[in-house]
Structure 1
Amino acid sequence: MKIRSIRATPVNIPFRAPYRFSYGAIASLTKTVIELETEDGVLGLGECADGDRAADVVAAGAKLIGHDVREVTTAEAKIVPAMRYTPWGNVTAARRVFGGIEMAIWDARGKTEGVPLHTLLGGAVRTEIPLTEYFSYRFPGTDPGEATPTDVARYCATMVERHGSTVFEGKVGTVPLSEEVQMVREVRAAIGDRTLQLDANGGWTVPTAREALARFAPFDISWFEEPVETYEEMADLRRHSPIAFSAHAIDLQKAHALRCPDAIVTNVNEHGGIARTRDFIRACEAMGVGFRFHSGETGIASAAYLHLTAALEHVRGASQTLFHWYADDVIEGGPFALENGVTKVPTGPGLGVILDRKALQRCHDRYLAEGPFPSGRDGGYGSGFRKR
């Protein structure tokens, strides 16, 4: 069960249409696919979420050749500095790189032992994983996109008709507030009493967010992600709105102290892998803070968060996904299916997914042609971002 080699390939996973959010627009997600091979010929798959990390993965992986895949703790010690900050390296980058490698380690272990990841984590408490259906303004692509409130509402109605979608989450903070209020009004009419959530990606100031929350209140918004950027700003807003808040920034102690946000929404990579994510979720449970996974991974890391959700009861409610927006993936049969608001947890050994080598090459070629995180429109990802 020892590691023989570690390879890494940057890829772009395209959207059917570039979507707009408060930072700009995005047409493809850039990820790094990791292949870890053991001396027994078992292939473990992992993923780095934050762009092209291929060179960093290969350099870190060289330190793990000959390492037993069952020894996650000692593997981490070889890659990640044992402090929060060091002037001699980037702890965050090292943690993210190891997180992708560690995912592949778990996959290889599960395949070696012939059991799914959720079994290694203690067993499944659920086998159908609730996930959101996303909506936003989108530029034309292979899908026509949505440019008006009515377009967005029709898209949501189509998702109900085709896929039985049950939880909708929409991007706001992209166009004038009056237009977004109209969009949410029409979406609510289109989806009936199904769950409706919103996400501003921290794009508003407190005064704007306070006005927005008041104007959205009649439409029964069950959850609002990052109406403002900081925990302190969310705590300020809490005095003016009963809507639950979530955030991507990770500061569990502060969330507990401020009683805000209500949930932290991140990926596996950000915590440094599957073991660290499991431990963080348990800490959230102990401190009364919710946890959900966010969208934007290939089928590899998506499988990891499906298994973690299956194994950990505290991951309640619908995590985020973009499955119906993906135009490609690197796994056989991908992207994952999302029907009637749920995706089934994979049942095969390890992560339960198989790498599609033709798709991997296709997505790598796309990365070479497009570059990282292309916007699909002039101006680029995050161009001209300022709070409203």
Structure 2
Amino acid sequence: MKITNVKVTHVNVPLSAPLWWTAGLYGGASKSIIEVETDSGLVGLGEAPWWHFGEVIKSDIAPALIGADPLDLADCEARCVPPWQITVNTGENAASIAFGAVELALWDIRGKVFGMPLYRLLGGAVRKNIPFSEYFAFRPEQDGAGGEMTPEAVVEHCLRMREEHGSTIFEGKLILGDPQLEIRTVRMLREALGEGAQIKLDSNMQWSLTTARWVLREIEPYNIRNYEDPVATFEEMAALRQHSRIPFSTHVPDLRRAVALGAPDYFVCNFAALGGLSKTLKFIAACEAMGKGFWCYSNDLGIMTAAYLHVVAATPWITEASQSLFRWQVGDIVRDGPFRQTNNMVPVPEGHGLGVELDPAAMTRWSKHFHDNGPVNHFFDPNQPGRYRRLPLH
């Protein structure tokens, strides 16, 4: 079996309403969907975390893979990714991330060849229902959605998710640059949701170490399950650890530094950003050896989410709920997408490979959205068009 074509399609999938984060308003996903075609008729699906990695796939990776055996992952990687010494010395890791998106499609092909779900290729399922958090944030109103711009509205949203979907795990950003607002919102969430709910927070590195000490001191009595990137560096997290028992997580996959400094406690990662599924499995194993936790990223579409489901199903070490913006995604590119949790859980797909199929109508719709509107920009200040937002460091 040989690879005959690698097709790349850019798509936008907006959120029902944008959410505030450190860099401005986060309005949705701009991804590249990968289809690796073979001479046997099997097609593997992959997903790049940002659309511009799809351009790297088009220009560099796709031509290199034509004629390759899709089951020979080592050969495919050697054709596409420079040795790690080169990427470390040059700081150029785009090829690694772009190949990570394609490598997911190669695993999908492998599952289809052997006629089994991905989790079985990974050793079998230790769980079949995978936990994901609901999300909360300050969101301006848009076309009848959102409008949670006060602590009261955020609390009301979470209570509605509990009532309608059985949700008891909540993660969110309370990023308007006001530490007192965050403290008050957390207090109100705990009072409304009760002690049985999990509350996780993410500040996207918005606080200075001084302010973070204050904020975490005030919210610690409310049993915060985790705080993601409360400050900008691992060194500051290590200093913050001396003042707070709340666990910390990060998107920065630097395990050596985390072990050396004693913080953060968890990594939250996209599989392509780690270089693909094979490297992700090695990273998770290293986390287990070093006593660091792991869970999965948010605002990915159905292909990457399916990969999350299979890996968590097959990995005993991953016990915490992964992030999700499922409820706010207005669509997906897979049939019956987006995934949505009930009672915190999403079942792992049972089809061959990743167990998902592209929805042709959805692909047409969301690729047209990208073509007509360009990629979503999450970084510009909505109050100063054309300028990047600068949130004052408190």
Q: Deviations over 1:140-181 (max 9, x none)?
A: 124132111101000000000011112111102324111222
Letter in 2 for 1:23: A
Return 166-175 or 234-243, whichever deviates more.
166-175
Give 1:280's aligned residue.
283
CA-CA distance at 1:191 after TM superposition: 1.6
Runs of 4+ in 1 over 4 A off after TM superposition: 86-90, 378-382
Aligned-residue offset at 1:90: 5.9
Aligned to 1:166: 168
Deviation at 1:87, TM superposition (A): 9.4
Cα distance change on mapping 1:379 and 1:272 into 2, 3 Å = farther
Any residues of structure 2 matched to 1:32-51 within 5 Å, and which?
32-51=32-51
Distance 2:341 2:180 in 1: 32
Which residue of structure 2 lines up, in the alignment, with residue 355 of structure 1? 358
The residue aligned with 2:15 is 15
Q: CA RMSD in A?
A: 1.7
SS in 1 for 2:52: coil
Unaligned 5+ segments in structure 1 are: none
2:193 aligns to what?
191
Which residue in the other structure is 2:134 paired with? 133
Cα separation, 2, equivalents of 1:175 and 1:164: 31
AA aligned to 1:184 is V
Q: Measure the CA separation in 2 of the matches of 1:308 and 1:382.
A: 36
**Cα contact 2:20–2:175 (8 A) shared by 1:** no
Post-superposition offset of 1:344: 0.7
Equivalent pairs, count: 388
Are the counterparts in 2 of residues 332 and 354 from structure 1 also a CA contact under 8 Å? yes
**Whole-Å Cα distance in 1 between the matches of residues 384 and 168 of structure 2?**
34
Question: Which is further off, 308-317 or 172-181?
Answer: 172-181
Segment drifting more, 203-212 vs 165-174: 165-174
User: Structure 2: how far apart are the matches of 1:232 and 1:311?
Assistant: 33
Residues 295-342 of structure 1, C-alpha deviations (whole Å, 9 max, x = no match): 121100011111111111111111111111100110000000201011
- Which of the residues 263, 268, 279 maps onto 2:266? 263
Q: What percent of counterpart residues are identical?
A: 41
**TM-score (normalizing by structure 2):** 0.95
Q: Which residues in structure 2 correspond to 1:94-133 (within 5 Å)?
A: 94-133=95-134
Q: Which amino acid aligns with 2:55?
A: A
Q: Cα–Cα, structure 1 residues 105 and 379, in superposed 2: closer, same or farther, change >3 Å?
A: farther
| 1:242-298 Cα shifts (integer Å, max 9, x gaps) | 000011111111111112111111110111111110111011111111111111211
Shift of 1:382: 5.2
1:48-59 mapped onto 2 (5 Å cutoff): 48-59=48-59
Answer with 187-196 or 297-306: which moved more.
Answer: 187-196
Structure 1's 213 and 366: CA in aligned 2 closer, same or farther, altered over 3 A?
Answer: same
Deviation at 1:383, TM superposition (A): 1.9
User: Aligned-pair distance for 1:89?
Assistant: 6.7
The 3-state SS of whatever aligns with 2:106 is: helix
Give the counterpart letter for 1:81 in structure 2: P
DSSP-derived class of the 1:184 partner? helix
Distance 1:344 1:280, change over 3 A: same
Aligned counterparts, 1:1-388, within 5 A: 1-59=1-59, 60-86=61-87, 91-142=92-143, 143-193=145-195, 194-375=197-378, 377-379=382-384, 383-388=389-394
